[in-house]
Amino acid sequence: MTSTNSKQMITGKSFEYALLIQFEEKIKDKTNLEVIKNSAFQVAKGCFENVSATERSDYLLSASFAVNFLMDIEPRLSNDIGKDDILQLEILSDHHGKFGDVRDVLAIRLLQKWEIGVSAKNNHHAVKHSRLSASIDFGEKWLGIRTSKEYFDIVTPIFNKLEKIRKDSKAKKRWSELGDYHSTIYVPILKAFIKELKNLYKKDSKKIASNLVAYLVGNKDFYKVIKGKNSVEIHAYNLNGTLNLPFKNTQPKYKTPKVPLPTEIVDIALKADSDTTAIVTMNNDWILSFRIHNASSRVELSLKFDINLLKSPKKLFKNTLNISHD
């Protein structure tokens, strides 16, 4: 899988860099600006410089459309309260994602105590890829409530078995050689996960529902910019009401309403006719799917969730910009 993963990483980072460059390009004549050249910036720059010239111009074109639109709905990007009000542009390291911050590119004005972040996606809509293993306490990590001993009593022996298989085969054993591993590994782990999520929900229902979305979708407000083939989609995850603010008398050109978080989980169940996917249905129009899978063709000690937003509130602002290649 490494080749696809690294390819996805390179395209993703290249797009982040293209966005940063376009922000800089379009705003530098309007306000004082500083690009933070941290290690994440260097990595993204390296990725961008390694893709073909065609890909580079493609990324820059998509980024240009996105940034023009963001400047229309975020007047504080190009407006300052004076020459000391510097707009800082920064690429965040992937480390932040572990704590539920999904933003990749940040624009910050310290003097206005203001920032907006962009999550850059290249051709994919998945929310997050989180793992389960014998040592990962998903309750604590995602929701701030510790997972029960009962949950670990079920999943630990299964993961230990995988560890033994991996060790005995010197990490060569493939999933495909395990026979019907869906019913022996996936299903019991997924059922344990569903049961545990239900138990955690009983402990603190309101907190669990909103924390689940905050952790998986993003705990800081952000714009998701999804680059497609001939289009760019912009979604405004305005969960805390920090996006789309006016600057003095300058109003944003479009309104991106505040999006209500869920306060209750209506249902947690296996998807019909599936032994790999759990569906979590919440109020306020939130539905998430959790598809469990092995991230590698060889047996590993953890399993990965591919988590998607099946339904989101109607108030979630979405706009598609069609890109014409002249």
Same domain assignment for residues 79 and 225: yes
Same domain assignment for residues 20 and 104: yes
Same domain assignment for residues 252 and 269: no
Same domain assignment for residues 155 and 290: yes
Q: What is the DSSP letter of 313?
A: -
pLDDT of residue 1: 39
pLDDT of residue 7: 84
Same domain assignment for residues 98 and 178: no
Range of the domain at 32: 2-126+218-260+314-322
Q: Rounded mean pLDDT of 96-121?
A: 89
Same domain assignment for residues 112 and 179: no
Is this model's pTM higher than 0.95 or not? no
Same domain assignment for residues 41 and 188: no
Q: Rounded mean pLDDT of 49-78?
A: 96
Q: Rounded mean pLDDT of 156-179?
A: 94
Per residue in 260-303, pLDDT (tens digit) is 999 999 999 999 999 999 999 999 999 999 999 998 899 999 99
If one compares 90 and 206, the residue with the highest pLDDT of the two is 90
Please give the tally of structural domains in the chain: 2
Q: Rounded mean pLDDT of 50-65?
A: 96
Find out whether 219 and 141 touch, Cβ atoms under 8 Å: no
Is pLDDT at 28 greater than 70 in this prediction?
yes
Reported confidence tier of residue 124, pLDDT bands at 50, 70, 90? low
Same domain assignment for residues 154 and 16: no
Same domain assignment for residues 208 and 284: yes
pLDDT of residue 2: 45
Q: Are strands 114-122 and 128-133 parallel, antiparallel or unpaired?
A: unpaired
Reported confidence tier of residue 5, pLDDT bands at 50, 70, 90? low
Among residues of the chain, what percentage have pLDDT more than 70? 96
Is pLDDT at 22 greater than 90 in this prediction?
yes
- Residue 34 has which token pair? 């500083």
Task: Compute the distance between CA of residue 228 and CA of residue 127 in angstroms, rounded to an integer.
Answer: 16
Is pLDDT at 321 greater than 80 in this prediction?
yes
Q: Where are the alpha helices (DSSP H) in 102-182?
A: 138, 149-168, 181
pLDDT of residue 9: 87
Same domain assignment for residues 182 and 294: yes
Reported confidence tier of residue 126, pLDDT bands at 50, 70, 90? low
Same domain assignment for residues 167 and 183: yes
Same domain assignment for residues 182 and 70: no
Task: Compute the distance between CA of residue 283 and CA of residue 228 in angstroms, rounded to an integer.
Answer: 30
Is pLDDT at 3 greater than 70 in this prediction?
no
Task: Compute the distance between CA of residue 297 and CA of residue 283 in angstroms, rounded to an integer.
Answer: 37
Is pLDDT at 197 greater than 90 in this prediction?
yes
pLDDT of residue 238: 95
